[in-house]
Amino acid sequence: MTTAVANPRSGGSGARSAVAAAARQLVKSYGSGETRVTALDHVDVEIARGAFTAIMGPSGSGKSTLMHCLAGLDSATEGRIWVGEQEITGLKDKKLTRLRRDRIGFIFQAFNLLPTLDALENITLPMDIAGRKPDKEWLERVIKTVGLSDRLKHRPSELSGGQQQRVAVARALAARPEIIFGDEPTGNLDSRAGAEMLGFLRRSVDELGQTVVMVTHDPVAAAYADRVLYLADGRIVDEMNRPTAEAVLDKMLRLAANTPHTAGELGANGSRP
């Protein structure tokens, strides 16, 4: 799929840019009748290839649900979803599993590293399971980018939290996925380790041409992105290109103030109490 997408760096809108993922009139609801809850309400969205996109919104706004649907981790109630040129709406489980394995990378709060494997073995594990040999040149470049060259033989218990998250980032990058999704990837890290990890993701976009989509509630984290999408009540209500932490925080506070059930959730620095 290709379409006219504004360049998030320059703010221009003329060039045609490839789209890494997209949704049209996406609805996700749970339950039925009076107990039906709509998490996503007719969302239209496009994720530009080779860019860093952050998704923000008050608790319950649908941001994680949107990411899970785009990543094929959750199914749509209505609407259509694409990864690249392939529509994934209605794909059978086996094909969807293969697509996630071969074309998508994931980074979550929990590092999900196997304690019996060393760092390198954890990084290459998805490819080993798929029976694919890693591209050695690319693997070396990824490892160098995330600064793990001297930690490859260490097991998770011998690594700090920040180093374990670097392994998780490298694992997501190593298979050269078309798109990487991160759900609050800095949630379990201190500020220094979180800044390091965000720097690695930023460099993976700038130096490796990666596409990254990250759900976060942290304005500082969102400022690493090229573009920020804001959700409220299951709808995209605004977006920001070339964000700063101050501008993101201001937008989030105004969104929270206008959403009664979430007002007061964000602290003075944009974090949750």
Q: Given the structure tokens 């080993």, which residue do they identify?
A: 128
pLDDT band at 260 (very low <50, low <70, confident <90, very high): low
Per-residue pLDDT at 225: 96
Mean pLDDT of 243-263: 78
Cβ–Cβ under 8 Å, residues 127 and 134: yes
CA distance 144 to 150: 10
Per-residue pLDDT at 40: 94
CA distance 120 to 159: 13
Q: Which listed CATH number (3.50.30.40, 3.40.1170.60, 3.40.50.300, 3.40.50.970) goes with 52-75+90-257?
A: 3.40.50.300
271: pLDDT strictly greater than 60: no
- Amino acid residing at 226: D
The strand pair at 227-232 and 52-56 is best described as parallel
Domain boundaries, the chain: 52-75+90-257
Cβ–Cβ under 8 Å, residues 174 and 123: yes
Of residues 6 and 187, more confidently modeled: 187
CA distance 151 to 134: 19
Residue 17 three-state SS: strand
pLDDT digits (tens, 9 = 90+) for 165-184: 889 888 988 888 889 999 88
3: pLDDT strictly greater than 70: no
Element (H, E) at 193: helix 191-208
This prediction's pTM: 0.81
Q: Nearest CA to 218 among 254, 259, 265, 270?
A: 270
Of residues 262 and 24, more confidently modeled: 24
